[in-house]
Structure 1
Amino acid sequence: MIAPRARAADRLLIISNRAPYSLRRRGHATELVRSIGGLSSTLDDALRKRGGVWLAWSGSVARARRGRRRPPPRSMPVRDGGYRLRLLTLNDEQVAGYYHGLSNRSLWPLCHYFPTRAEFDEREWKVYEAVNRLFAHAASKSVPARGITWVHDFHLALVPRMLRSLRPSARIAAFWHIPFPAPAVLRIFPWAREVVIGLLGSDLIGFHTGDDATHFMECARHLADADVAFGRGEVAYHGRVTRVSSFPLGVEAKEFDRIGSDPEVLDEVRRLRLSLRMERLILAVDRLDYTKGILQRLQAYERFLAARPEWHRRVCFVQIQVPSRESVPEYRSLREQIDRAVGRISGRFSTAEWTPVRYLCHGFGRRDLAVFYRAADVLLVTPLRDGMNLVAQEFVATRGDGDGVLVLSLFAGAAERLREALLVNPYDQSAMQRAIERALVLPTVERRAAMRTMRRRVMTEDVDWWLGWFLAAAAVETSPRRARRPRSRAARR
């Protein structure tokens, strides 16, 4: 079945580092394998409805050979999808400089407020520029005449301006999915001005939080000398006005609610609780990364066990840790530190009948995660910095029983919309210990009232709501007027 042809004004060009499909060889043929869940799945659905093109790196790595002509992007129709994938192949030097280097060793740590972890290499910056230019040139051939071109995340910060120079009339929107730092932090990056100016090629820039949007506007003012109207969320630069706003991302709430209410899932929940034989179950789910605060969380739990022996044999902490980038020495070292912390806690407190921490170091599918979400009395989401954090929202969406306590970092973007959670500073070990203690004894009335309010918001403001909201904003014509510089410091707030 072929999807009906979308109106030209509805068509989309999505540009991202990776696509919602991976390539798999089967005999002499190549087939597309769809990723499971997540934002890419939602954007895939949006393109199926609207039609258009998704431009991304294929994930394939070719050997760099001087003088060799670059292969054109591979164009493949998405079966029953109504749109096409255009997949770029990068060589090993490009992947090393653009992805592993500038994106992951420079921008990622700096934007998460870890400047001492950031490394800056001018050669990697040159490669990052070149790959962004490669994306922009490829995109220029697919820009919809009256639709929206949507650029995603920090890997492609320069694409909006580069594409604007190639297609001046294009309607370009960008979304930055990780934290955007304050000017004092971003200016550490040697090419901070270029990143800001690159994003200002957009008509609309979206962030998860109001703070991130404000930080970008402050950076535009201080680093690019742009004219900024904070109250209107407008940045004027070289005769163009870019709108800047927050669009907090939701999750596939209805799907998590459905899975969490499935009778077979509830049977598994009961079996899990029986197997642990604990009065209280504490859960955490993270990808392996230093930004997630896994070590600090384990240390706080250890302090709790030392200070509250009455909870021994009554509580179990399950830490699910999804492996990530373990070929990188820093991540291998982090994994080893976490392993040692788990071993120390187990060795210090375990008995023949009781293991205080269960450490599950592999990925889980959505259904299996829902079992843990429903079984948990407390979910600890305590990153040191996070753009949004969808685990917190998935937990809330799964809890159709109206129960469960969410302990949430003040430095997660989700804290802006899940204010009823127990908010905590993950750098403060005493505060973390107190939050764990309080979560375990929170009265039923209080925890149900908090969960009811959070569920109402998460179920309403889901990922489809977010998608419609952002695309509607992106479709609005940008005002041609220049933004005026606010007269006072108060006006800038």
Structure 2
Amino acid sequence: MRIIFRFGGIALLVAAIVILAVLPFATSFVEQWTRRDVELRSQLVFNSARDQVVSLLARDDVGRLAGLFERIASDERVLAIGYCDGEDLRSPTRNMPASFTCAQAARSDTQSFSTIAAEGRNILVSSFPLTVAGREGHLVVLHDLSYADRRGGQARNYLFLALAGVAFGAAALAAMIAALIMRRWLASIRQALENARAGAAGQPERENMIPLGQEIRDVLQELEASRRTIDAAHTDWSPDTLRAALANELSGSEVIVVSNREPYIHNRAQNGGIVLQIPASGLVSALEPVVRACGGTWVAHGSGTADRETVDASDRVPVPPAHPSYTLRRVWLTDEEQDGYYYGAANEGLWPLCHIAFVRPIFREQDWQLYRAVNEKFADAVVAEAKREDPIILVQDYHFALLPRMIRNRLPQATIVTFWHIPWPNAETFGICPWREEIIDGLLGSSILGFHTQAHCNNFMDAVDAYVESRIDREQDSVTFGGEETLIRPYPISIEWPPTALEGQKPVEECRRVVRERLGLPLDMRIGVGIERFDYTKGILDRMQAIDALLNEHPEWKGNFAFVQVAAPTRSKLANYRQLQEEAEALAREINERHGSAGYEPIKLLIRHHEPDEVFELFRSADLCIVSSLHDGMNLVAKEFVAARDDEEGVLILSAFAGASRELSEALIVNPYNAHAMGQAINRALTMSQNEQRERMRLMRDQVKERNVYRWAGQMLLSASRLRKRQRIRRLIASGRKRAPANA
């Protein structure tokens, strides 16, 4: 019994030491957290009022500015607010401390925070830079920090009581454990004595123990570190950041990417040589920088005429050619497979079904059989490339709806992240697909299934709810099907930052001159650009009709504005795509005949593939860019135009039906089906002041810079990391339960 009390006393002593050691740190943590909370509140106040403050200051409307400041200061947490014009404090609110001056605020080119003492209390001064009519100033927001001291005291008291309770509980638990150990020890001695008395002492039984509790604690700590990494609001995502995140969270993991389109195509040139082409694909432009950053293997269809000549005996080629950083594994398809899987089931069936662009989807059973066979072929390739039984596999797009389930059946421990790059339609529309249950089953083989927007996630879960038996958790955004859980998540895709294509670009003025000379346009000609593939979802005809409407309603732009439409031919085997190109050429001729003149064509239609550096040169030379998608998952052209404009000028006209409109709200958002309204938006873009252009472009560039492709990939891969750690915990617990009867 004395030993039991000794264990309890030691536990109480240790707990008391821990309490004394932890309390100061806990109090400091609460105070720092409270201060950070106040800083975030200040940022929220500034973001909400910035535009109004700038507008009122520009008009020198002192009365309305004072009223706005008083309304903001009515918040119980805001002490006072004012505007520092140099050293002059303008429009301070009634509660502004009499001793406060602008010299006390820590002012800089970026937001800053400082603490001052005034009237017997600590005050947090938040300073935010503003530019009004070319003059620099700062909006200052003051918060009373006295409540932070009160919160710290309360936290200290609560923590003391909580730790004391834990200490007594720990002491009691220690005493119970000691009693159990003593009882077991005494029983073993008694058994040994009995064996010795009988003359047949046996060997002690070896207990099969595992450090289960410690392993779970280690995993939970790793999981918390992962959460902090992925949720960090101010992380500047770059290739180095992504590599560091993967090294910390997925060290030693194998990454395999699967897509139909390959990132590098080798074609046979007319002179007999081999030329390298980077395809005009949003998927490739988004994913290739990520694979360069994390390495691994990319499995894709080898479509180039010289692809077979450039691979090794295992159909692999290191890429990028100049500085190889990962392996491209090519999969070969017959013409019959390509026609049925790619042109048929994928692009005549799933593509129009998901885009709802008024083109009837075509479903052929033979196409579906080939689609299934090609998915099997890619599953075989992935398994052959996997060097571990638990790789991370990133499956890309609607070409591989069945692939996740096929891989899951072969590699049950793999972490499969599938990203659907196109929209997902509502459940009623998806219901017309004759293979709807098989598609849903295939996708639910994924560990994580990603879409561009939350709306697409909701549509998918509605389709699951309507067509298969499953358990849907709307709160956690997950689907449990066949005993396996799939997380459904929005991951808005983006581009690399800074873009590689921006390297080596000439200054904007030089780009404007070079492009106009190349197109035979006067140097003072205003131009707009549109750049995409010939696809009926991109709204190419609709934007041409908008140009027609502009010139009809604003004839002053005739001879002063030209629209450059770059369109790369694609899927030319399909009648809808050939017909679109023919209609676009005919419509451009018609508009040029109606509004053009000798030496002037309002629409320049350039039908060929443009390399990324050519595209960025066009972007930098343009006064505006039109993205008029009739339905689009994201549309990276819009983000590339924003990234190209490091001069912070130019106007983006963006369709409300492109996923990018959810992020780039400072663009001129239009309905592409309304030619008149689009024409008015073009006129507004052409007459927009440079100051307004810069304000809009600066905000959009900040958005694209912060939410770049490395962040997109990092979110998915770190989500995979967190999922793998949860699965480890489940396996450890399950293992512990299995071992429990043996140890009882």
Under TM normalisation by the shorter chain, which class is it?
Answer: 0.7 to 0.9
Larger radius of gyration: 2
Match of 1:276 among 497, 510, 521: 521
Query: Given the alignment of the two structures, is residue 182 of structure 1 paired with residue 426 of structure 2, yes or no?
Result: yes
Query: Given the alignment of the two structures, is residue 313 of structure 1 paired with residue 559 of structure 2, yes or no?
Result: yes
SS of corresponding position for 1:225: coil
Report the equivalent of 1:199: 443
Query: Given the alignment of the two structures, is residue 466 of structure 1 paired with residue 709 of structure 2, yes or no?
Result: no
Cα distance, 1:32–1:443 mapped onto 2, change above 3 Å: closer
Cα distance, 1:346–1:84 mapped onto 2, change above 3 Å: closer
Match of 2:684 among 412, 434, 438: 438
Q: Is the 8 A contact 2:289 2:496 kept in 1?
A: no
Q: Is the 8 A contact 1:408 1:423 kept in 2?
A: yes
CA deviation map 1:364-387 (0-9, x unaligned) = 222222222112111110011112
Offset at residue 255 of structure 1 (A): 2.5
Offset at residue 189 of structure 1 (A): 1.0
CA deviation map 1:237-262 (0-9, x unaligned) = 12211111111111123126844863
Distance 1:58 1:224 in 2: 35
SS of corresponding position for 1:450: helix
Report the equivalent of 1:329: 575
Q: Is the 8 A contact 2:285 2:495 kept in 1?
A: no
Match of 2:533 among 279, 287, 293: 287
Structure 1: segments with no counterpart, 5+ residues? 62-71, 482-493
Q: Is the 8 A contact 1:208 1:247 kept in 2?
A: yes
Match of 1:246 among 490, 501, 514: 490
Match of 1:389 among 619, 635, 643: 635
The AA in structure 1 aligned to 2:577 is: Y
Distance 1:349 1:18 in 2: 40
Q: Is the 8 A contact 1:291 1:386 kept in 2?
A: yes
The AA in structure 2 aligned to 1:81 is: P
Cα distance, 1:199–1:438 mapped onto 2, change above 3 Å: same
Cα distance, 1:256–1:424 mapped onto 2, change above 3 Å: farther
Map 1:349-364 → 2, pairs under 5 A:
349-364=595-610
Report the equivalent of 2:623: 377
Query: Given the alignment of the two structures, is residue 160 of structure 1 paired with residue 401 of structure 2, yes or no?
Result: no
Distance 1:60 1:97 in 2: 19
Cα distance, 1:367–1:22 mapped onto 2, change above 3 Å: closer
Report the equivalent of 1:403: 649
Cα distance, 1:12–1:431 mapped onto 2, change above 3 Å: same
Offset at residue 124 of structure 1 (A): 0.9
Between the aligned residues of both structures, percent identity stands at 38
Q: Is the 8 A contact 1:259 1:370 kept in 2?
A: no
Offset at residue 228 of structure 1 (A): 1.8
Distance 2:304 2:626 in 1: 36
Offset at residue 39 of structure 1 (A): 4.5
Map 1:440-455 → 2, pairs under 5 A:
440-455=686-701
Distance 1:32 1:157 in 2: 32
Report the equivalent of 1:128: 371
SS of corresponding position for 1:335: helix
Q: Is the 8 A contact 1:209 1:248 kept in 2?
A: yes
Report the equivalent of 2:331: 88
Cα distance, 1:146–1:33 mapped onto 2, change above 3 Å: farther
Cα distance, 1:407–1:142 mapped onto 2, change above 3 Å: same
Moved more, 397-406 or 78-87: 78-87
Match of 1:112 among 334, 343, 355: 355
Distance 2:554 2:466 in 1: 50
Offset at residue 363 of structure 1 (A): 1.9
Greater RCO structure (CA 8 Å; 6+ sep): 1
Offset at residue 120 of structure 1 (A): 0.7
Q: Is the 8 A contact 1:383 1:409 kept in 2?
A: yes
Report the equivalent of 1:490: none
Q: Is the 8 A contact 2:511 2:617 kept in 1?
A: yes
Distance 2:494 2:452 in 1: 10
Cα distance, 1:46–1:347 mapped onto 2, change above 3 Å: closer
SS of corresponding position for 2:351: helix
Report the equivalent of 2:463: 219
Give TM-score scaled by structure 1 length: 0.86
Distance 1:45 1:411 in 2: 27
Distance 1:312 1:33 in 2: 41
Distance 1:32 1:306 in 2: 45
Q: Is the 8 A contact 1:11 1:50 kept in 2?
A: no
Moved more, 122-131 or 220-229: 220-229
The AA in structure 2 aligned to 1:104 is: N
Moved more, 249-258 or 179-188: 249-258
Distance 1:86 1:259 in 2: 29
Q: Is the 8 A contact 1:260 1:374 kept in 2?
A: no
SS of corresponding position for 1:19: coil
Distance 1:197 1:88 in 2: 24
Give TM-score scaled by structure 2 length: 0.58
Report the equivalent of 1:237: 481
Distance 1:322 1:227 in 2: 44
CA deviation map 1:400-435 (0-9, x unaligned) = 111111110011111111111111111122322222
Q: Is the 8 A contact 1:260 1:399 kept in 2?
A: no
SS of corresponding position for 1:276: coil
Offset at residue 311 of structure 1 (A): 2.1
Offset at residue 33 of structure 1 (A): 4.5
SS of corresponding position for 1:108: helix
Report the equivalent of 1:148: 392
SS of corresponding position for 2:589: helix
Distance 2:267 2:551 in 1: 48
Cα distance, 1:50–1:253 mapped onto 2, change above 3 Å: closer
Q: Is the 8 A contact 2:265 2:277 kept in 1?
A: yes
Cα distance, 1:351–1:401 mapped onto 2, change above 3 Å: same
Cα distance, 1:141–1:279 mapped onto 2, change above 3 Å: closer
Offset at residue 59 of structure 1 (A): 2.0
Report the equivalent of 1:476: 722
CA deviation map 1:27-81 (0-9, x unaligned) = xxx99947378653664554455443222222279xxxxxxxxxx9634455763
Report the equivalent of 1:68: none
Distance 2:529 2:550 in 1: 15
The AA in structure 2 aligned to 1:306 is: N
The AA in structure 1 aligned to 2:315 is: R
Moved more, 48-57 or 400-409: 48-57
Offset at residue 458 of structure 1 (A): 0.9
Query: Given the alignment of the two structures, is residue 59 of structure 1 paired with residue 300 of structure 2, yes or no?
Result: no
Map 1:30-41 → 2, pairs under 5 A:
33=276, 35=278, 39-40=283-284
Distance 2:510 2:649 in 1: 17
CA deviation map 1:185-207 (0-9, x unaligned) = 11111111211111110111111
Cα distance, 1:256–1:306 mapped onto 2, change above 3 Å: farther
Moved more, 465-474 or 170-179: 465-474
Q: Is the 8 A contact 2:501 2:613 kept in 1?
A: no
CA deviation map 1:144-186 (0-9, x unaligned) = 4343111111101101011111211111110111111111111
CA deviation map 1:244-295 (0-9, x unaligned) = 11111111231268448634x6423224346522452121112101111111
SS of corresponding position for 2:609: coil
Distance 1:429 1:175 in 2: 33
The AA in structure 1 aligned to 2:258 is: I
Match of 1:100 among 337, 340, 343: 343
